[in-house]
Amino acid sequence: MLISCAAYQDGEKIGDIEIGQIADYLQRPNCFVWVALRDPNAAELTDLQQAFGLHPLAVEDAQGGHERPKIEEYGESLFAVLHMVEPDGGEFRVGELAVFAGRNYVLSVRSHADKGFQDVRTRSEREPDLMRQGPGYILYALMDAVVDRYFPLLDVLEDDLDLIERRIFNPEGVPRQNIEALYSLKQRLMIMKHAVAPLLEGVSNLSGAHVPTLCAGIGVYFRDVYDHLLRLNQTADSIRDTVATAISVNLSLVTLQENETMKRLAAYAALLAIPTMIAGIYGMNFEHMPELKWRYGYLFSLLLMAGLDLYLYFRFKRARWL
């Protein structure tokens, strides 16, 4: 579906145009066309492939989707794929943004994602000095918008992790629920990691020693995107390490709770063993046994069992087994 198609010259918007008019504007000096699509069909991509001369492999990637984030050069044009991660209930939904950028055109293809980039277009149109940089600047603006949307998602993961850590040390916490929550968080974190980490090398190339012609003069902007990606990647690594530690701590606490339970059971078993032993001995009914005919033998045996159990109880209590 076509979202917008506009022509720009010398940093100023000429106006919205039709797909069939693209060829006329591409021939104008200092003019470029910016087209935005959402979940396009094959016919729409084919029309724009012919209009802009897009590489068929790049078009195939944009149409097929499920690509790894990357930035590739095709002659004098660039093709970038970025993951658009959006919250969906308690999970993350992954869409894609494919961007074709050439000398006089920019084509963005958004797939399986709700939030668009009208704010990017509006902000860019208010800055004609930057728009004069051409399609390279538009590529930066789109990439920067996608990367900036990752920060709130990582903040959510950090908040969830803090909540789970408090539940781990809560005596009323349920260890199984904590483990499930940690693994759910880890899955969402890996989605973020897969969106961020592959872009580091590609964005670094756009601001390094061998900058593509399309990005000449604006390398500092891509360096800013690279810094953001680096910070996101480091934060994701830190959260991942903390999640691994939290899982280990939770399992250790489960083991400690099991040990405490076993100690209590052993203590109660010892308390029962004393009267059981005495009752078992005097329940054998041998004819010649001491104290069988003693008037106070029954009371004495009860007091003996109670006394020994009280002694063991206080010893176990002092040892914190009870």
10 Å Cβ neighbour count for 104?
A: 19
pLDDT digits (tens, 9 = 90+) for 152-168: 999 999 999 998 888 88
The confidence score (pLDDT) of residue 241 equals 92
The confidence score (pLDDT) of residue 278 equals 75
In order of their start, the domains of the chain are 1-129 (3.30.460.20), 259-318 (1.20.58.340)
The confidence score (pLDDT) of residue 305 equals 79
The confidence score (pLDDT) of residue 274 equals 75
The confidence score (pLDDT) of residue 209 equals 60
| pLDDT above 90 coverage of the chain, percent | 27
pLDDT digits (tens, 9 = 90+) for 54-76: 898 888 888 877 778 999 888 88
What single DSSP character describes residue 68? Answer: P
The confidence score (pLDDT) of residue 144 equals 93
Please state the pTM of the whole predicted model. Answer: 0.80
The confidence score (pLDDT) of residue 288 equals 67
Nearest to 164 by CA among 235, 250, 257: 250
Question: Exposure of 72 by Cβ count < 10 A (0-12 exposed, 13-18 middle, 19+ buried)?
Answer: middle
> What residues in the chain have per-residue pLDDT under 50?
none
Nearest to 188 by CA among 111, 85, 114: 85
